Amino acid sequence: MTTVVPVSGGDFAPYDVVVGRGLLAEAGTRIAPFARGRTVIVSDETVAALHGPALKAVLDAAGIRTEIVAVPAGEGSKSFAELERLMDRLLATGLDRKDVIVALGGGVVGDLAGLAAALYMRGIDFVQVPTTLLAQVDSSVGGKTAIDTPRGKNLVGAFHQPRLVLADIDVLATLPPVQLRSGWAEVLKHGLICDAPFFDWLAGEGASGATGDAAALTRAVIRSVEIKSAIVGEDEREAGRRALLNLGHTFGHAIEAELGFEEAALAHGEAVALGCCMAFRFSVAQGLCAAPEAERVEAVVAAAGLPTRLAQAGVFSAEALLARMAGDKKAEGGGITLILAHGIGQAFTRRFEDPTPIRAFLIEEGAG
């Protein structure tokens, strides 16, 4: 059984996010309507070995000429150097504007391949086949593509919507536990933003999804995609409500940047989970949220095996974190915009021209 979640609105062509089991085997017939010439599967070396041959086989069987291009696994591939190498390899294949790039992998592959698709011949179609929970519930939907720079995460990129997203729950069985937990953080985030009943389910009956239960994962992915698609359809370019999807990310990205974006030190989802806890505690400190709400968030995040306190990620300077936050892509005119909450399911944005309260909070959290 599959569920189709439509994504539409704004100035982009509508597309479907298909969620279900065994979708990799159906990829040929589902991608064929968009592949008028050939496809290049862009993947990382790990995922290419696991799922590349199977995907290529079904595309070939559908009469679609297919090549696989693998990039190194890890956040380091979201770089100018790797983007240039990928573009050169795409050019060498002779892809033209009627062809399609298929992003097979997690968020790194989706970001890199999506940006390459946005730039190649001023834009060609691409399809997302996300193989991590984080990518299925977050990065594959919404058209954000980007690479990192030494100054921060996702600072160079483009909005380029996919033509189709295939979220196969079965491929999640190959994920190591840390990646499953990392994706679960983004699932929790969606409940925290605007759906308290969903968060309640995730904290109770649905908690088994964090350890790989397929039925719970299916429901969690579907609801997360529904939430994100509704927000993206209303605000594609993050001029308003879409900013709420950054709950936990301003704190989280600053921490990741200070750690050099080393996934082994702190996975992206772990940073988001920590950032969400910090955002709720800061909301309490600002008198915007009741303390029991923040305490419950922390308890549910901890129960999923995710970090809740800054000390769990390392030792940090408050000034260094502030500098990272001021340089975040969500910052405007030198101020810092945070996604805060009045309670679970009640997120909102607040801009701080004066960083003093944020600095005091970071010091209270244990930053030096």
Nearest residue to 130 via CA among 51, 193, 33, 72: 51
Active site residue 238: yes
Active site residue 144: yes
Instruction: Give me 234's structure tokens.
Output: 């209303």
Alpha helical stretches, state H, 5-103: 27-31, 45-61, 80-93
Amino acid at 269: G
Answer for the pair 52, 68: CB distance below 8 angstroms, yes or no: yes
Dihedral sign, Cα of residue 249, residue 250, residue 251, residue 252: positive
Active site residue 154: no
Active site residue 242: yes
Instruction: Give me 257's structure tokens.
Output: 């940047």
Q: 324 burial class (0-12, 13-18, 19+ CB within 10 angstroms)?
A: buried
Active site residue 51: no
Answer for the pair 343, 289: CB distance below 8 angstroms, yes or no: yes
Active site residue 190: no
Task: Spot the catalytic one: 78, 219, 253, 324.
Answer: 253
Active site residue 160: no
Q: HSE, CB side, 13 Å, CA atoms: give it for residue 45.
A: 6
Q: d(Cα 118, Cα 357) in Å, to the nearest integer?
A: 39
Task: Spot the catalytic one: 268, 270, 293, 365.
Answer: 268
Nearest residue to 124 via CA among 103, 99, 142: 99
Task: Spot the catalytic one: 75, 226, 238, 263.
Answer: 238
Q: How is residue 4 annotated by DSSP?
A: E
Q: 150 burial class (0-12, 13-18, 19+ CB within 10 angstroms)?
A: exposed
Task: Spot the catalytic one: 56, 189, 219, 242.
Answer: 242
Active site residue 65: no
Q: d(Cα 87, Cα 75) in Å, to the nearest integer?
A: 18
Task: Spot the catalytic one: 30, 51, 56, 144.
Answer: 144
Dihedral sign, Cα of residue 68, residue 70, residue 75, residue 79: negative
Catalytic positions: 122, 144, 186, 228, 238, 242, 246, 249, 253, 268
